[in-house]
Amino acid sequence: MSKTMEKIKCLIIGSGPAGYTAAIYAARANMNPVLYQGMQPGGQLTTTNEVENFPGYVDGITGPEMMIQLQEQARRFGADIRDGWATKVDFSGAIHKVWINDSIELYCETVIISTGASAKYLGLPSEQHYLTIGGGVSACAVCDGFFYRNQEVVIVGAGDSACEEAHYLSKLCKKVTMLVRSEKFRASKIMEERVRRTGNIEILMNHDTVEVLGDSQVVYGIKALNKTTGEVIEIPATGFFVAIGHKPNTDIFKEYVTLDETGYIVNTSGTSNTNVAGVFVAGDAADQVYRQAITAAGTGCMAALDAERYLAARD
C-alpha cells in the first residue's frame, strides 16, 4: 500500500546517458520531468574508468565524472532528479501508475523507460575485484579495447557477440585468447569461421575461467581449467573481457510492455514508442546491438521528443 501519491507529467525511470539526456530535453520543453535514478545511479558507465569515444571530451573523461556532469546539466534546466527505483507499474489505463520503493505511488501522463541492461559476469571474486577497481576486467570491447593496444588479452564467451568482440580486439591487441566454456560455439557459422581464420586469436575450447590473476591493482593473467584433461593453465593477459550476454532490466514492465524473447523492450522502428501509448523507451533496455553511451543518449533525446509530441497531441 502506497504512503503517498503524486501526479507527474513526465516520469523517467533510470539514469545513465539515456535517462539524463531525456531529462535535459524534457526539462527544456517545460515537461517538468521527474527522474528516479534506479539501483545504480548513473548506470553502467559508473563502472568505467575512462570514456574516450564520447564526442566533445578531447582528453577523455571517467564514467562517473561524465554521469555527474550529465546529471547536473539536467538539473540546470529544472529536471527533478531523485534517489529510488521503480518496484511496480500499472500501464492498463490512460494514466500510468508507477510505484517507487513500494511506498510512493506516481500517476504519470508519460513514462520514459531507461532502465538499461546489466552485463552478465562469471561471478568470480577476483573478477569482481578488478571490475570494481577498473583494473583490467570489462564487458565491452568496443568501450575499453583501445586501452589494451599491443597487449595480450583474454575473452570468455561463445556467441555472436563474443566472436564479434574477439575479432574487434584482434585488430588492437597483440594476441587474443578466447575461452569457450563448452565443446562448441553458440555463434553462427560465419562468426565462428571469422575468429578461427584470424591469426592472432587462439581459441581454447572446453575451458573454464578459474581466477583472474593480478597484483591487487591490475590484471596480469588468467587461470583456466581444461575440462577435458583437468589441467589448469595460466594465460598471460593484461585485460579480461566477459562476453556472455546482457540482461535487460525490464522485468517489472513485462505484463504491459511488449518484450522480445530475451527481455528487451520492442519499440516501433524509428521511434521510441512502445506498444503502450504514452510509454517510451530509451537506451539499452531496447538495444541489444550497439550498447554505447552515444547511442543511448540519442535515444534519450528521441524519447523526450516523442513524449512531448504525445502530450501536445492530447492537448
Which entry of 10, 108, 143, 173 is annotated as an active-site residue? Answer: 143
Where would I find the beta strands (DSSP E) of the chain?
4-13, 33-36, 80-82, 86-90, 96-100, 104-113, 117-119, 137-138, 152-156, 175-180, 201-205, 207-214, 219-226, 232-236, 239-242, 246-248, 279-281
Which entry of 10, 83, 90, 144 is annotated as an active-site residue? Answer: 144
Q: At what angle do helices 16-28 and 293-314 cross, to 10 degrees?
A: 40
Are the CB atoms for 50 and 24 separated by under 8 Å? no
- Count of other CB atoms within 10 angstroms of residue 315: 4
Give the integer Cα–Cα distance in Å for 36 and 297: 17
Annotated catalytic residue 301: no
Give the integer Cα–Cα distance in Å for 258 and 264: 9
Are the CB atoms for 37 and 81 separated by under 8 Å? yes
How far from 250 is each of 184, 278, 284, 292, CA to CA, in Å?
30, 17, 10, 18
The residue written with cell numbers 532528479 in the block is 81
Annotated catalytic residue 140: yes
Annotated catalytic residue 108: no
Listed in sequence order, the residues at least 6 apart from 91 whose beta carbon sits closer than 8 Å to its beta carbon are: 97, 111, 253, 256, 257, 276, 279
Which entry of 80, 140, 208, 301 is annotated as an active-site residue? Answer: 140
Active site residues: 140, 143-144
